[in-house]
């Protein structure tokens, strides 16, 4: 992955800072985790025009953009307040799992992690039921 420009990195950092305030989250305390995600988001911003999540593999990144699912802040973050990348975490450095379906891999991995700011974030929470149905169809 090519190194993105400082301008793109700063744009992503500003977005992350704003999103943390909006969602009541913080970035991971291990700066190497945050920094690597920032660089990946910035590189995808330059390559694709959108900050596609760098923590996933895409057979076709441009095709993936049409779905919007993994553009940061991804659907899982906006529906469940769960960040697969560990970019947006609780003060303890853990992802919120409270809103995930009980059989979700995040819930299995981390257990029940309560949302420290339930009055913030989850702008797409109304889509949780449809997302769960899609997930169940993929796994059946």
**DSSP per-residue letters across 15-61:** HHHHHHHHHT-EE-SSHHHHHHHHHHHHHHHHHHSS-B-TTS--S-H
Specify whether 55 is catalytic.
yes
The tokens for 90 are: 């609780």
Set 55, 72, 74, 83: catalytic member: 55
Residue 126 binned pLDDT confidence (cut-offs 50, 70, 90): confident
Which SS3 state, helix, strand or coil, does residue 64 take? helix
Question: Quick one: pLDDT at residue 17?
Answer: 97
pTM: 0.87
pLDDT surpassing 80 at residue 27? yes
Whose CA is closest to 95, among 79, 117, 76, 110?
A: 110
Residue 135 binned pLDDT confidence (cut-offs 50, 70, 90): low
Cα–Cα distance between 91 and 93 in angstroms, integer? 5
**CATH entry, 6-138, from 3.10.20.340, 3.30.465.10, 3.90.460.10, 3.40.640.10:** 3.90.460.10
């Amino acid at each position: 992955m090519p190194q993105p420009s400082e301008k793109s990195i700063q744009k992503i950092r500003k977005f992350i800072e704003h999103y943390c305030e909006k969602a009541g989250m913080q970035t991971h305390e291990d700066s190497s985790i945050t920094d690597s995600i920032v660089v990946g988001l910035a590189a995808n911003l330059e390559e694709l025009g959108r900050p596609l999540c760098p923590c996933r593999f895409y057979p076709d990144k441009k095709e993936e953009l049409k779905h919007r699912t993994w553009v940061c802040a991804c659907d899982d973050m906006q529906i469940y307040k769960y960040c697969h990348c560990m970019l947006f975490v609780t003060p303890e450095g853990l992802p919120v799992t409270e809103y995930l379906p009980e059989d979700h891999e995040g819930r299995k991995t981390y257990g029940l992690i309560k949302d420290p700011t339930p009055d913030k974030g989850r702008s797409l929470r109304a889509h949780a039921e449809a997302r769960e149905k899609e997930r169940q169809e993929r796994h059946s």
